[in-house]
Structure 1
Amino acid sequence: MSNRVKTTQLVHGDRRLNKPQNGAVHEPSNNSVLFEFDDVSELEAVFQGKQAGHVYSRSSSGSAVALQNMLSDLEGGAGAVVFSTGMAAISAMMFSLLKAGDHIVVSQFLFGNTRSFMQTLGNFDIDVSFVDVTQANNVQNAMQDNTKMVFCESIANPVTQVADLSGISEVCAQNEALFVIDNTMTPASMLDAKSFGASIVVSSLTKYIGGHGNVLGGVLVDLGNFDWCCFDNISDIYKVSNTAQWGLTQIRKRGLRDMGGTLAPQSCHQLSVGLETLNMRMHKTCSNALALAQFCEAQNAIKRVHYPGLSNHPHHERAREQFSEQYGGILSIELMDRIDMRAFINAMSLIICSTHLGDTRTLILPAATTIFHENGPQQRAAMGIDDMLIRISVGIEDIEDLLGDITQALNIAESQDS
């Protein structure tokens, strides 16, 4: 898909969409918890949803609305809700829209924390089927009469399996199920999720949107593709006059207001500033990642490289078609058995041994023993995660410095083996 998000749109979105006061080019951070009304009838109208406004910052604030406007605009959405983290967005959405007795289909390659939450849903009598989402027929075969939602990541972390978005969209349309994509790995500069028929996109704003490892956040955007009149889990009290807003209204009330995963005003401001450079950062990140993957593929000490930009990746053609001919900033490698994984990582002088991804700096960690440790060997095997898998989140450094660091670390690790 072509890149429809322009840098000009990112840089000027805040002032154009939100029109900050006094000539400011950014909506200021408004830290007030409460809001005054001159007339009690206005307070009542806002409380009852008859009039736009803010009554308490746990539910909404000018800072949050400004960021929501920009993120919805980027996705071509019908509206957005921001949360304190990406996991807060996912959990709030599911607890708001699902009920006991429902069934959902999710990717078997889900990120560890997300998969852990899916298992938590079972405690609330919500049935979850884990399937290989790289083939849409697996999703179709898992559908049931009570299936309400299909949830997957655009590109899996860390083995980079690419979901069949077009095929899954067709399955969801045929079954009147919500199609939810976690596009953290492929923000709007890479993926036009709306064109693939997605109902909702969720994302960790902490990653590529913020981009600098200094602020947490999450978002949910309703893309306007789903007919909420077909969704029988919407409470009558949230069936506002605009049927396109039914889902978002229930999520705002039950998921944000009641569960309290509020994004702080200062965090909203930081994220809006980070958003301005998204295109430039993603271009450099993806360029670096492809070069690094190609370099690693040519090294005798590296057994396997997982990156959708490589022609031998099983989903390379699909990735090329779905992601604007960019392939993301995550790659994973497996070293030859003779190379000690920990010695290799410890030998890095530039690349940082750390959790997190989507940062301006390149980060590295052993996946199985850290972020997927709780999943256990059986689940990891189903996800394609080898015990010695190393994940690299590529940053925006000069590529020659990254290649040099990988080279010297391999040399040190190999010398320790000899």
Structure 2
Amino acid sequence: MTTPQNNRFTTQILHADRLGGAEHGAIHKAIHTSVQYGYDKVEDLIAVFQGTSKGGFNYARQGTPTTAALEAKLTQMEQGQGTIVFSTGMAAVCAVFLTLLKAGDHLVASQFVFGNTNSVLGTLADLGIEVSVVDATDSAKVAAALRPNTRMVFVETIANPGTQIPDLDGIGALCRQHGLLYVVDNTVASPYLFRPVTVGAGLVVNSLTKSIGGHGDALGGAITDTGLFDWSAYPNIFANYRKGDAKGWGLQQLRKKGLRDMGGTLSSHAAHQLALGAETLALRMDRTSATALALAQWLEQQPAVSRVLYPGLPSHPQHAFAGKHFKSGSWLLSFELHDPAQCLPLCNRLQLPIKATGLADTRTLIIPVAHTIFWEAGPAVRATMDIGDSMVRVSVGLEDPEDLLADFEQALAGC
């Protein structure tokens, strides 16, 4: 029995485990801690190893019944055809690049990406994979960067920390025209606010640690195949995985190389925590988006603040893109001060926001960007990403909006 598809977003998530066959009438999938999975007949074990069976497990590095239940839930959320979960969001990002690209290939990536993703792009270049970083808010600039050996285009729906939004539709059309794999990191928006399948993405990446898990208590990542990309035409699929229906080739290679070979495996305990967190995704995204918008609107009126970056503001450069694609603006906002010397004192005066890295916790988090998460990138890279020395990133939590605004008011009074 499966969850009725006519039910809405949260209803489907809440009842996915129960209607998907959780053991003993449980409403949540059990935590399966076994590493090995045995069979009465060795032929059945062989079928699992060779990928000819419709299900089954052999060794937990490639998945467990608990991670499989989370994968099914994420597939449903992103309206895809299949999902693989990983130990972290960065493990998922690295799996995409390292299992689907090879030396001599060319990758076009947005210049507005998460700091660690930017670091990985440098590693790819060292491995012989050519990388071009461009302003993906303009699909013409993506088009201009394409080469005969381009294999993939990678963007984030809402960039961290500058909240830039790529031309999602334009890039999708470009990738369809040229037969390129379009990879969209949907971490900040989440599948509740936006589904990349609607703009033609072939693969969707989510850091489950953030929006989907939402409680800052478990690391995880995921790759969802939307079913839109033609893997039979992709030259980098290994011969061993060019068997059966071509629609499954991409995920098969990602699972074998990203989990079996590279070991980026999500534990069953973490999968269970993330699945529980996902049940309240819509409620949290609605609440944090509304508070973030209110805070952004208030900050924009403050004399000490030089600019506020939030997709829900008319002043945002890609406000039209946000209005077209997203239900709301999400929990991420950044702002800068006229006086960079006030950046750290302001952070210290704030009482409710926790001075910590990380995103999408139930509690509001703040961090001075240039001094911490983008310090290693250096001034030149920060300039290309439009990150000023006084930028403060805010991950808005579930606090009562009035309390949060009052705290920012007392903190800014000292500027």
What band does the TM-score fall into relative to the shorter chain?
A: over 0.9
Q: Name the CA distance, whole Å, in 2 between partners of 1:5 and 1:97.
A: 34
1:393 aligns with 2:395: yes
3-state SS of 1:373 partner: coil
Q: Which of 185, 193, 196 does residue 188 from structure 2 map onto?
A: 185
Cα distance in 2, alignment partners of residues 5 and 189 from structure 1: 11
Aligned with residue 39 of structure 2, among 32, 37, 53: 37
- From 201, 204, 218, the equivalent of 1:201 is 204
Supply the AA of the counterpart residue of 1:266.
H
Distance 1:61 1:182, change over 3 A: same
**Residue 211 of structure 1 aligns to a residue in which SS?**
coil
| Contact 1:14/1:272 (8 A) holds in 2 | no
Which residue number corresponds to residue 347 of structure 1? Answer: 349
**1:99: which partner in 2?**
102
Cα separation, 2, equivalents of 1:146 and 1:347:
51
| Structure 2 contact 9–77 (Cα < 8 Å) conserved | no
Task: Name 1:273's counterpart in structure 2.
Answer: 276
1:240 to 2:260 alignment: no
Name the counterpart of 1:251.
Answer: 254
Query: Is contact 2:143-2:174 (8 Å) kept?
Result: yes
How far 1:57 moved relative to its partner?
0.3
Whether the aligned pair in 1 keeps the contact of 2:340 and 2:390 (CA below 8 Å) is no
Instruction: Summarize the alignment of residues 45-64 of structure 1 with structure 2, pairs less than 5 Å apart.
Output: 45-51=47-53, 52-64=55-67
Residue in structure 2 matching 1:362, options 356, 361, 364: 364
Q: Is the partner of 1:305 in helix, strand or coil?
A: strand
- Is residue 8 from structure 1 mapped to residue 11 from structure 2 by the alignment? yes
- Contact 1:5/1:74 (<8 A) preserved: no
Matched AA of 2:26: A
2:375 to 373, 376, 401: 373
- Gapped runs of 5+ residues in structure 1? none
Q: CA deviation at 1:10?
A: 1.9
Cα deviation for residue 338 of structure 1 reads: 7.3
Runs of 4 or more off by more than 4 Å in structure 1? Answer: none
| Residue of structure 1 in register with 2:129 after alignment | 126
Deviations 1:235-293 (Å, cap 9, x if unpaired)? 12101311110100011111111000100001111111000000000000000000000
Give the SS at the match of 2:334.
Answer: strand
Q: Following TM superposition, by how much is the alpha carbon of 1:297 offset from its aligned partner in structure 2, in angstroms? A: 0.6
Equivalent position amino acid for 1:150 in 2: V
Q: CA deviation at 1:336?
A: 2.1
The residue type paired with residue 139 of structure 1 is V
Distance 1:45 1:251 in 2: 19
| d(CA) in 1 for partners of 2:294, 2:376 | 32
Say if 2:156 is the partner of 1:153.
Answer: yes
- DSSP-derived class of the 1:340 partner: helix
- The 3-state SS of whatever aligns with 2:190 is coil
TM-aligned CA distance change 1:5 to 1:183, over 3 Å:
farther
Equivalent in 293, 300, 305 of residue 308 of structure 2: 305
Once the two structures are aligned, what percentage of the paired residues are identical? 49
SS at match of 1:333: strand
- How far has the Cα of 1:298 moved from its partner? 0.9
Q: Find out whether 1:173 has 2:176 as its counterpart.
A: yes
**Equivalent pair of 1:136/1:168 in contact (CA under 8 Å):** yes
Deviations 1:192-228 (A, max 9, x none): 2111100000010000111000000000000011011
2:113 aligns with 110
Distance 1:224 1:95 in 2: 21
SS of the equivalent of 1:334 reads: strand
Residue of structure 1 in register with 2:3 after alignment: none
Q: Does 1:290 align with 2:293?
A: yes
Code of the aligned partner of 1:35: Y
**Conserved 8 A contact 1:72-1:80:** yes
Residue identity opposite 1:23 in structure 2: G
How far does residue 148 in structure 1 lie from its aligned partner after superposition? 0.4
How many angstroms apart in 1 are the aligned matches of 2:202 and 2:52? 26
Shift in Å at residue 42 of structure 1?
A: 1.1
- CA shift in 2, pair 1:289/1:5, >3 Å: farther
1:346-368 deviation line (CA, Å, top 9, x unaligned):
01111111100111111101001
Q: 1:5 to 1:187 in 2, by over 3 A?
A: farther
Distance 1:312 1:224 in 2: 36
Query: Structure 1 residues 130, 5: closer, same or farther in 2, change over 3 A?
Result: farther
The residue aligned with 1:82 is 85
Whether the 8 Å CA contact 2:340–2:389 is kept in 1: the answer is no
Q: Counterpart amino acid of 1:147?
A: T
| Correspondence for 1:328 among 313, 330, 338 | 330
TM-score normalised to structure 2 length: 0.97
Say if 1:379 and 1:148 are closer, same or farther in 2 by CA, change over 3 A.
same
The CA distance in 2 between the partners of 1:316 and 1:93, in whole Å, is 29
2:30 paired residue among 19, 28, 34: 28
- 2-side partners of 1:184 and 1:206: how far apart? 9
**Quick one: distance in 1 between partners of 2:368 and 2:128?**
34
Point out which structure has higher relative CO (alpha carbons under 8 A, 6+ apart).
Answer: 1
Count of aligned pairs between the two proteins: 408
Asked if the contact 2:89–2:206 (Cα under 8 Å) also holds between the matched residues in 1, the reply is yes
Corresponding letter in the other structure for 2:66? S
